[in-house]
Amino acid sequence: MDVPILPVVISGTNAALPKHSLNFHGRQHIHIRMLEPIPAEQVAHLSVEDLTERVRTLVANQLAEMMQA
């Protein structure tokens, strides 16, 4: 569709709603960070798998950085 990809990193939701549970666990701090858009022309040549890996790596690196702060 020739539109930019906007990576979004969300952390802290695991404490609010743990895996395999439908019970919210009180008030939790959840952080949402919008990363810089990736212009479509920069990734148009990539396969779906390569694009997925590029964005996943970008999000994982940012999440690791957020966890250290």
Which residue has 């539109």 as its token pair?
Answer: 3
Alpha-carbon span 6 to 35, nearest angstrom? 7
More confident residue, 69 or 30: 30
Q: Residue 69: is its pLDDT beyond 80? A: no
Question: With b meaning 16 or more CB within 10 Å and e meaning fewer, what string describes 23-51?
Answer: eeeeeeeeeeeeeeebeeeeeeeeeeeee
Confidence of residue 25 (pLDDT cuts 50, 70, 90): confident
